[in-house]
Every structure is written in C-alpha cells, then in structure tokens.
Amino acid sequence: MIDTEERTEPDDEEDLLSLKATPGAPGLTLPEQPDLIDEGDLRNAMAQFNPLAMRDIATIEKGVEHFFLFNGSHRALIRVDQLQFLRSADARFLAERRVAAEFEYLDYNVQTRRLTRTPVLIRPASLKADQVAKVIRGCIHGSLCAVLEWIADRDDDLYAMEEKGELARHIGSQLHPDGNEESGLVAQLSRLSFLSFESILDGTGARTELCAPLLSGLRGPVADLITELSDRSAFSPKCRLALDRRAGQPPLLSILPDWSLVRPAALSLVEMKEGNLREIRSELEWIHLLFVQLARKILLEALPADEAGWIERRGISQDERYLKTIRSHPSIEARFAAASSNFPFADAFEGIIREQRKLGKIRVNGLVEILLQEALSRMNMRFEPVLFSKDNFTVNKSITRMYSNEDDLYEAVIERLMAHPEVLKTPERRSDLSAGLYILYRANLPRAFISARNRRSFLHVMARESGHPGGIYDFARIATDNPTLQKEQLELSRAIKEWENTLEAEKRKKEKKARGGFFQRILDFFLALFGQEKRKERRAEDFSEVGALTGRRGVIVGPRQKVRKIPPRVEETIQAVEETHKGFIWLDEVLKHLPDPKLSSDALGDLLFYDQEGRYTEIRALQNQRRVFIARENESSREWLTSTLDYLENLSRPGPEIPDLRSALQKRLESL
C-alpha cells in the first residue's frame, strides 16, 4: 500500500540542486515556395560550377521522383552530403537562385537515442511550387515521426531510470554545467531552458522553418496529427505507441509559448501487478520538485530572516505560496529574471504547478485503462461471449482508497467497453445493467457463430446491438484468395443456413401447436395421409434454401463455380510489375519478365480484361501507344489518383505516353 502523505510530501525528498550527472537516456503551416527556374535559366545559374555539377542536379530531380514513387518517403530525397560535384556550402546559392529548394528533416538514431538533422535539396521535374511544398510537407511529416519514435524510447528510458532511482539525479544534473556540482544558483537558473523540448530541437541545429511546424503539430490535437501521418510509411507502430500512451493528449505540454515539456505517459504513472498498485513518479513531478527547491532557495536568500520563518525546509505543499510570494515582491521576481537570463521563472513555475495538479486525474485514467486491458485480456482467443460483471471485477482495496470507490472504477471500465470499437457488447438481461456486459471481440464473431450452435440467435442480436444492423449477415463477405478466410466464410455461410432452417422449423412447430384443436388435428392427419403436409413443408424448406443459395441476404454458401483465368505464374509477374511501377501494369513489362513468355500482348490483355474476379481495368487512352492496366479499386481512389499524378508530373525522364496517361487520370480524378 502506498502512503498518500509520502506521495505528496515525500520524506525521502532528494536535493535536485546538488546532484551529479549520471548516464541516462539522453494542420501544419508550410513556408511559401516559388516556382523553380527552367532549363534555360538553369544553365546560366550553373555556369560558375564545374559542368559535371549538372549531374548532381539530375540526381536531385531523381530523388524527388523517388519521393513520389515511394509514397512520400523523405528518405528517398538526395541529401546534401550525397552530392558529388556540389559542396554543402553551395546549397544556399542554389536555393537563392531557385535552382532547387533547400530543406531538412530530423532522423532518429535508436542506438544513440538522439535526433539528428539531415539537409536535403528539392528540385521536382515539374518545377512547380506546389510540388516543392508537398515534398517539404513530407519532410515535416517524417520529422514528426522521428520525434514520436524518440519519445517512445525516451518513455522507456525514463521508466528504467525511475526504476533504478536515477531519474531525479538525471534531471538535477542538467542544471550543473560541465558536471560542476558546486555551480551556484545563478548558473542553475540560467540552465532551466535546457529542460525543454525546444532545447532538444536547438541541439539538432534545425531551423525555424522546420521547428515551427513540428512544435505546432506536437502541441495540437492528436486526431489531427494522426490524420496527417497515418498514410506515411514512417508512421511506425512505435510512433503510434508514443501517442497511445498519452491517452489522446498532445505529446507536448506547452508550459510557456517557447518552453515545452514532453507530456508524461499516462499509462506509465501507475502500475498494477497481481492486484498491487505502484505509483511511478514522472519526469514532470521531479521537475516540479526542482522548481520548488529553486524557489525555496532564492526566497531564503532574498527575504529577511524574520520574514522567512514560515518557509518549510522540505516538501512541496508550499509551492503555491512560494509562487504567490515571488509574485508579490517585484524585486524578487526581477532577481529571478536577472539570474536566469530573463527566463520567466514565475510563469514557468505556475504552469508546472498547474500541470502537476492534473496528474492525479491522469493516474485515475491510467488505472482505468489498465483495468480495461485486464477485462479485454479475458477475451483473447475466446470464441464465446464473456460476461464482465461486478462479481468478477476485483480490485485491491488500496486502489479504491487512493483513487475512487470500486463502483466508480467499475462504471468507468463499463463506459470504455461500451465505446471500444473492436468489441461487441450486450447487457446481461436477466437483471439490471450494473450486473454486467457480455463482450466479444468483433473479429471473433464468425468463429463463435460457427461453433456455438445454441447461442447463434444471441450472437446475432449482440451484433445488431453493437452497430451492425444486419447482425450476423454483416459478417458474411465475399471469399478472398486467403485460404483461411475462405474456409471460415464458407463455414459461416453453412452455419447461417443451419440457423435459418432451425428458426424456420421452430416457427412451423409453434404455428402447428397454435392451431391445436381436435378437428384441426384430424384435418392435418388426412393432409399428411395424402402427402399434402409434406409437400407444404418441402416448399417451405425449398424457399429457405433457395433464399440462402441465391444470396438474398448476402451469404456465401459454396466455392466459386469458375477458376481464375490468369495462371499463377502470370499473376505473380503482374503483381511484381504493379508493385514496381506504382500501381501500373504495363503489358510489355509483364511480358518481358515472364519466366517462359508464350503470351502475346493481346492474349495477356484479354486475361486481365476478362479476369474472373474483375480486378483490373484498362486505361483506354493508351491503347494505341503502350497498353496499361490498373487495379479497379485505384480507378475510384482519390488518394491514389492524386499521389500518382504527383509522381507522373515529377518523372525526371518521362516517356512519350506519360502526357496522355496523366490526362486520363486527371479526367478520372475530376469525375469523382
């Protein structure tokens, strides 16, 4: 059990002002860009350089082409240090003459745990400013992803240091220049800026053109940030982890307009193992203690002895009083500012106090998330609904005493289960809602329906109450090339048919029972004697079966009746060409790469055109030049059409068919 008094007033308070350094973890606004100069002006601008420098210009254009080819990958751009004939000092000249745009991105080195700056040059073949802006946006997005990966690893490093009791020492050491423990108060105050995220950016040498949109994105709404980054290849699971750990809050805490801290990971503030709760003190809490100690120290020096008797020598309970005293004595506040190179200490102290006070609520949210994950873990590899109720919700009593009562925690978990997008849920109807919820992972419903014969109607209702108006029929999809999914879908369709037949049989049984009566039974006897009843039942069964077989409810009941016309080896080659050429299936490329080419261009075109699954569509405008197909879903994808047009517009050596191809895709985009 954790002593709450110790949590707020720790007896083991460390003096952060005398700690030695220890090893440890170390909607974006874009700058305006002009169009670039064309080939004629380019040669004049490059006249002062070695003629071979034109090769570097071609290489820069090729880098932009690859940027669009690889879905906006900033690492495809040509770095300044990769140039063979132009020096890094020439980059500014090229930018000033509009030969190429100069920009940069941040990279993250997982071994050194450091962010580094990488300058690049940008010259799209189109020379258009909007294309330059798209590349710059890609550099900013890539930099945001690098920062998020750094934050994710930094979370782990801070946790490890706190586990070893080294986090406080690590933070305090940053106020000691060159490891000098004896540095005075003035030196310590002057180094407060080094605690901020902005100081990390300054250490990379990144310019304002990159830093400003980075800070804007990291301070803004997380939903906007995810929208910006979700289609980027650099948006790795580690990036998403850094965001998820903060429970929907921005990665940065903006304490001052130009002084931010990395927001503590909500899920790392409290830890529960086997029902035992353990609080983990965050970096923010240690920084809060650091500011309290600084404020105490300067007040003791600034105030006369008879006015300083109220100041306690330890603890953090007087933090707001320290701040109020500083505010009420302009001379003391001015002394803070002068000693800290005009760092607004009081403003920063106020912001840190405000954020530190919020950590209690954040810890509760983190605890509820832990309890939610425990509830969800009960559904892992389960193909039947699980009842989550008060009877099986057990929490250590120390937790409820510290944070809330058990009923509030239970209701908070229920609320999150109700909002979870991957969970099907329905209340226990034999009593009130507080008795619990039946829960099941959405992805497990088909297998549950197949195996749980006696609960199929319940599962159907469960799906309907969880956002699927069609119930189980919403989960019957067209079988794909995935053998496992095909097998499951066919089994599901058979299970649905069995269920429908069972419902129909039960309905007839109830109707027959409802008819009742002596004379009705005699009539049924004679009908059965002459076969009329059996024919009637047979017609009902036939109707039920035909309804399922014809897919009137979208159910699949059997394998495809026809095999694919495209042979496997040809299909593999088609897919390889499609991946290499950004979604374009050039027939000449397919024929060239077939292991044993026996197909003519016309025969191959017929295979694609008459594909059994209807996966491809031909771009008719190029039929007389160079035949090409694309995936049918790309034909109506605004995202694919837009990114592909950007790529085609920036080809460094476009073929003669490219203008017609661009025109055809542009018309298709405009028609959507």
Same domain? For 493 and 470 the reply is no
* pLDDT confidence of residue 552: 36
Handedness of CA 132, 135, 141, 145 (dihedral sign): negative
Same domain? For 416 and 506 the reply is no
Asked whether residue 145 is domain-assigned, the answer is: no
Same domain? For 527 and 573 the reply is no
Q: Which of 458, 475, 492 is the last residue of a domain?
A: 475
**What domain range is 595 assigned to?**
568-671
Same domain? For 589 and 641 the reply is yes
SS3 percent helix, strand, coil of the chain, rounded to 5, is: 60, 10, 35
Strand (E) or helix (H) holding 423: strand 423-427
Which residues fall within 8 angstroms of residue 347, CB to CB, at 6 or more apart?
A: 256
Same domain? For 470 and 492 the reply is no
* pLDDT confidence of residue 24: 34
Same domain? For 421 and 455 the reply is yes
Asked whether residue 370 is domain-assigned, the answer is: yes
Same domain? For 532 and 426 the reply is no
Same domain? For 450 and 490 the reply is no
Determine contact, residues 107/116, Cβ cutoff 8 Å: yes
Query: What is the block-wise mean pLDDT of the chain (672 residues), using blocks of 10 residues?
Result: 35 54 44 83 90 93 94 92 90 92 95 95 94 94 96 94 90 73 71 91 93 94 90 89 89 93 88 74 93 89 85 88 88 72 85 90 83 83 85 74 77 88 84 73 89 88 88 74 73 88 85 66 61 46 37 39 68 92 93 82 87 87 91 90 92 90 92 82
Asked whether residue 540 is domain-assigned, the answer is: yes
pTM of the model: 0.76
Q: Which of 444, 475, 506 is the last residue of a domain?
A: 475
Determine contact, residues 346/404, Cβ cutoff 8 Å: no
Same domain? For 371 and 445 the reply is yes
Same domain? For 522 and 617 the reply is no
* Strand pairing category for 259-262 and 270-273: unpaired
Q: Which one, of 329, 344, 303, 58, lies nearest residue 189 by Cα?
A: 344
Q: Which of 425, 447, 475 is the last residue of a domain?
A: 475
Same domain? For 536 and 584 the reply is no
Same domain? For 582 and 618 the reply is yes
* pLDDT confidence of residue 31: 61
Asked whether residue 77 is domain-assigned, the answer is: no
* pLDDT confidence of residue 22: 40
* pLDDT confidence of residue 429: 72
The count of domains in the chain is: 3
Asked whether residue 254 is domain-assigned, the answer is: no
For residue 609, the number of C-alpha atoms closer than 13 Å in the C-beta half-sphere is: 13
- Give the DSSP letter string of 84-137: SSS-TTHHHHHHHTTSSEEEEEEEEETTTTEEEEEEEEE--TT--HHHHHHHHH
For residue 588, the number of C-alpha atoms closer than 13 Å in the C-beta half-sphere is: 5
| Residues listed for the chain | 672
Which long-range contacts (C-beta less than 8 Å, at least 24 apart) are formed by 278-284?
A: 278/2, 279/2, 279/7, 279/363, 280/159, 280/162, 281/162, 281/167, 282/158, 282/359, 283/158, 283/167, 283/171, 284/253, 284/352, 284/355, 284/356, 284/359
Asked whether residue 613 is domain-assigned, the answer is: yes
Distance of CA 163 to the CA centre of its chain: 28
Asked whether residue 5 is domain-assigned, the answer is: no
Asked whether residue 22 is domain-assigned, the answer is: no
- Please give the sequence-ordered ranges of beta strands (E in DSSP) within 124-263, or none if there are none: 252-256, 259-262
* pLDDT confidence of residue 286: 94
